[in-house]
A = this chain, B = another copy of it.
Amino acid sequence: MSQQKIVLTGDRPTGPLHIGHYVGSLANRLLLQQTYKQYVMIADVQALTDNVDNPKKVHENVTQVMLDYLAVGIDPTKTTIFIQSMIPEIADLTVYYLNLVTVNRLRRNPTVKTEIAQKGYGEHVTAGFLMYPVSQAADITVVRAQLVPVGEDQLPMIEQTNEIVRSFNRIYHTDALCEVEALVPKIARLPGTDGKSKMSKSLGNAIYLSDSADVVTKKIMGMYTDPNHLRATDPGKVEGNPVFEYLDAFDSDTKTVEELKQHYQRGGLGDVVVKKRLLEVLQSFLEPIRTRRAQLAHDIPSVMKLLKEGTEQTRIVAAHTMDRVKEAMHLNYF
C-alpha cells in the first residue's frame, strides 16, 4: 500500500462545472493530485437527495462533470474518479452508521439546519436529506480518506464523520475506520457575473468551463460592475466588483491588475476596457480547456471507460474497508 495520504473530494452532478468550481476546488485538486492519493467522487446518490424527481438530469451530468474534470487536467493516472452509486459499500456503511447517530444529533447539525432552512423543507424534510451527513461519513471512510477539502461551512460534516468513526471503533474494538481532517482552502469564493456572492446554475450567473468563446464574451461584457460608475471618468469601486475579483483569480500579472484597480478607483478607466482585459485573460485560460473538452466529447466511450476503471479501483478499496468493518461487527459468516 502507498504511504501517500488519502484525500477525498467530489461534486454533485447537477450541472456542468463553472469557473467558480475551478477557483473553489478544481485548481486545488490539480495540486492535491501531485502530493496525495486523491479520490474524486461524482456524488450521484447525494444529488438525488434533492433531485428525486429529476434523475435524468443527474445521469446526464455525470458525463458532463467527468468531461470537465479531464479537460481541466484531473489526471486519471493520479486521481481515482468514481461514481458514488456504483459503490454499494457506501450504502452498506450508511445503514450501519445510522445506528450510531441519534435523530436529534442530526437535527442539530448546523450545516443541515441551514440547508433545510434555505431549501424551505421545514417539517417536510425527507429522511434521506436529514441523514446525508451519515452518508458523507460513509463516502469518506469507505476510501479511508485522511483529508477532505471543505469550506468553513462544511466543518460540522467532518465533525459528524469523526464522531461516527470514534463510536464505531470504540463499540467494535477496532481501528477499522480512520478519522479525517478538514483541509480548508484559503481561496475565496468566486461571485457570479451579476455580483451575487454565489455563482450557481440556478441563479443563471455562471460561466461554464464548457461555454463557447462567444457565450463567454457575451457573459463577460454583460457583467455587473460598480452601478455608480456611470461614465469612464467617474471614480469606480473595486470591492464587490466581480470583474476585478475575476481578474484577481485568473490574471497572473498581478502588477497590471493592481494598476488597473488604482486607475479605476481614481476615475478615467471605463468598464469596457477592464472587461476586455478580463475577457482576454479568461479566454486564454478557457481556450485549452474548451479544446480538450471538445476532443474528449468526441469519444465518450473512452471517457466513460476511464470512469469505469476509477470506479472499479474504488470498489477494491471499498471491499477491503467493508471486510474490516464486517469482521469488527462479526458479520462475517462464510
Contacts and interface: CB of A to CB of B under 8 A. Distances in A.
A256 interface: no
A99 B334 contact: no
Contact of A102 (B53, B58, B126): B126
Contact of A92 (B88, B104, B308, B329): B88
Contacts of A330: 55-56, 58-59
A contact residues, range = 35 or more
A67 to B, nearest CB: 14
Contact of A333 (B91, B171, B304, B329): B304
Q: What number of copies of this chain does the assembly contain? A: 2
Contacts of A52: 99-100, 171
Contacts of A131: 98, 127, 131
A285 interface: no
Contact of A95 (B128, B307, B308): B128
A140 interface: no
Given A95-B135, A104-B123, 15 more contacts: A44-B331, A49-B99, A53-B171, A55-B330, A56-B330, A95-B95, A99-B127, A99-B129, A102-B123, A102-B125, A103-B125, A103-B127, A127-B134, A308-B333, A308-B334
18 contacts: A55-B172, A59-B330, A59-B333, A83-B333, A85-B331, A86-B333, A88-B88, A88-B92, A91-B92, A91-B95, A98-B128, A99-B128, A100-B126, A102-B123, A102-B124, A102-B125, A102-B126, A127-B131
